[in-house]
């Protein structure tokens, strides 16, 4: 058992660690809210792009939403563990932080390694969506219309990509290719946007995914501080048999 004098000397250190860890945990909780918001924003704003990648890509916003929710719950637990000055709860908190850090690190590495496959997959599926376009409301056709009307583009590489589609042979260009609203271009190339959508979509995806990747990387690195603080506080409490008065 530690001497009374040593415990008195250690108490301010532990109190300081608790204060710093509480501040960290609050900031960590805020990052969970940010990830949750980014996931919801990605689901709403990038759904059209994700739907043209593959079925697994559409789960990316849900992964962010789930991660944000877990961080919020974990941050609440960490705050409770710090206030209680419970050594075993702080060790459990540090263990969960380490686990989440490793998961985020692996996800970031996988995303970086397969980033070129994402581009190829999008172009392939976009061209496939053009060939199967039917304007009857299926999710791929809706995604094509939303992308073309929003980005003012037509086709994958350029508007001539539509020339080989069954829809063009029967009805001409879709209305989403129009330069102005409420036009009926049919086969008149002068009334449609000339630029293709692929380059524009890739520019948007790279910029938006850069934001998502940056936030995720920042959160992952930030967790290392929490792991260190939780471990130090837990060790100090255990070694000095700290008790809450």
Q: Give CA separation, 139 vs 35, 97, 123, 237, in Å.
A: 26, 38, 16, 56
CA-CA distance, 30 to 230, in Å (whole number)? 18
Q: Which two tokens stand for residue 98?
A: 């380490």
> Does pTM top 0.75 for this prediction?
no
pLDDT at 73: 92
CA-CA distance, 135 to 177, in Å (whole number)? 13
Phi and psi of 181, rounded to 5°? -75, 155
H helix intervals, the chain: 4-45, 47-51, 60-84, 87-113, 115-131, 139-151, 166-171, 198-240
Q: Are 42 and 82 in contact (CB under 8 A)?
A: no
Phi and psi of 192, rounded to 5°? -115, 160
pLDDT digits (tens, 9 = 90+) for 112-163: 676 667 777 777 887 788 887 875 667 778 888 888 888 888 887 777 777 7
Confidence of residue 210 (pLDDT cuts 50, 70, 90): low
pLDDT at 184: 67
CA-CA distance, 179 to 24, in Å (whole number)? 51
Q: Kindly tell me the burial class for residue 28, based on how many C-beta atoms sit within 10 Å of its own C-beta (0-12, 13-18, 19 or more).
A: buried
158 in helix, strand or coil? Answer: strand
Q: Which of 2-6, 64-68, 147-151, 156-160 bottoms out in mean pLDDT, i.e. has the lowest?
A: 2-6
């Amino acid at each position: 058992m530690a001497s009374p004098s040593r415990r008195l000397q250690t108490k301010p250190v532990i109190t300081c660690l608790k204060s710093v860890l509480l501040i960290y945990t609050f900031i960590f909780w805020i990052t969970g809210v940010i990830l949750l918001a980014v996931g919801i924003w990605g689901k709403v704003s990038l759904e059209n792009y994700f739907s043209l990648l593959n079925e697994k890509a559409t789960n990316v916003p849900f992964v962010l939403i789930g991660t944000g929710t877990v961080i919020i719950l974990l941050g609440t637990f960490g705050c409770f563990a710090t206030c209680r000055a419970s050594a075993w709860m702080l060790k459990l908190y540090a263990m969960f932080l380490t686990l989440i850090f490793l998961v985020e690190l692996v996800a970031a590495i996988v995303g970086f390694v397969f980033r070129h496959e994402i581009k190829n997959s999008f172009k392939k599926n976009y061209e496939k969506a053009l060939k199967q376009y039917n304007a009857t409301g299926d999710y791929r056709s809706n995604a094509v219309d939303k992308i073309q009307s929003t980005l003012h583009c037509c086709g994958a590489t350029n508007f001539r990509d539509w020339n080989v589609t069954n829809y063009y042979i029967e009805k001409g260009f879709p209305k989403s290719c129009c330069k102005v609203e409420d036009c009926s271009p049919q086969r008149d190339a002068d009334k449609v946007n000339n630029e293709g959508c692929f380059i524009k979509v890739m520019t948007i995806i790279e910029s938006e995914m850069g934001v998502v990747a940056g936030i995720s990387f920042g959160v992952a690195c930030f967790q290392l501080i929490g792991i260190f603080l939780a471990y130090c506080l837990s060790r100090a409490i255990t070694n000095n048999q700290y008790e809450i008065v």
